[in-house]
Amino acid sequence: MRGETGFVTIGDAEIEIERRGSGQPLLLLPSEDMLEGEALFVDTLARAFEVIIPAPPGFGASNRPDWITAPDDIAYLYLSLLDRLALEAVTVIGCSLGGWIAAELATKNDTRLSRLVLVDPYGIKPGGPSERDIADIWQLSPQRVAALKWREPPKAALDTAAESDAALAQKARNLESFARFCWEPYMHNPKLAHRLGRIGVPTLMVWGEDDGIVAPAYGEAYRALIPGATLRVIPAAGHYPHLERPDAFLAAIGKFLGTPQLAAGTGDAA
């Protein structure tokens, strides 16, 4: 199920927005692979919420102004988006890169937020300079990255022969923007760890037990920096537990969001 898609202009940024369902607003910040728009769990969320999915600058059909160089900048842009859309009591779910952006946003101003769910986010570096906290995806083959991200890599993740030139160009643009925002410092903001204590809304962190990009221990270090946050680890899932095990993911977040009906799941096998 696809919703209504349009654009919101904020300054020189044109942000592609999809809106799906009805109810209290839920801002879904997608991962760097932008797979959430086609995911079954989103349709389930849309039965309880109005799900709003913005494509970050440089992803999807959103433009990428030169001044936006890091997730920190995108967080400010999204705060303006919440103002522009006049959203209140917003649930925010951020996945991977989207989780990093969500964390940055909440440290700046969480007055429009009601709850925060962070799914295997990047953004901090708990270890020392010589410790590898986050897999170096830029130095690895696509096959190896897929093996680290997924417990069972889907064939579609590697089968580019069946994709159109337009789809491949879009993937390349998304990857270019991801590198632009996260290359240096590598996949983290050195200041974020010192700001996470500012988050004042209930926060749930969800992690895939078999995440080979950022392990559950990274998630626990993240959780410890956010006041009152809890961590749920989903077994038999990698970096994208919301995609690999959508029913387990919905069950994990249902009580936290005050929507236990989510535990009924997607209606399909995980």
Model confidence pLDDT, tens digit, residues 129-151: 889 999 999 999 989 999 999 99
In tens, the pLDDT along 155-165 reads 555 566 677 88
In tens, the pLDDT along 210-264 reads 999 999 999 999 999 999 999 999 999 999 999 999 999 999 999 999 998 887 7
Is pLDDT above 50 for 203?
yes
Exposed e or buried b per residue across 109-137, where buried means at least 16 C-beta atoms within 10 angstroms of its C-beta? ebebbbbbbbbbbbbbbeeeeeeebbbeb
pLDDT band with cut points at 50, 70 and 90 for residue 267: low
- Please report the pLDDT score of residue 269 as a whole number: 42
- Please report the pLDDT score of residue 130 as a whole number: 84
Taking the domains of the chain in order of start, what are their residue ranges? 4-264
pLDDT > 90: what percent of the chain? Answer: 85
**Homologous superfamily of domain range 4-264:** Alpha/Beta hydrolase fold, catalytic domain (3.40.50.1820)
Is pLDDT above 80 for 52?
yes
The pTM of the full predicted model, rounded to 2 decimals, is: 0.94
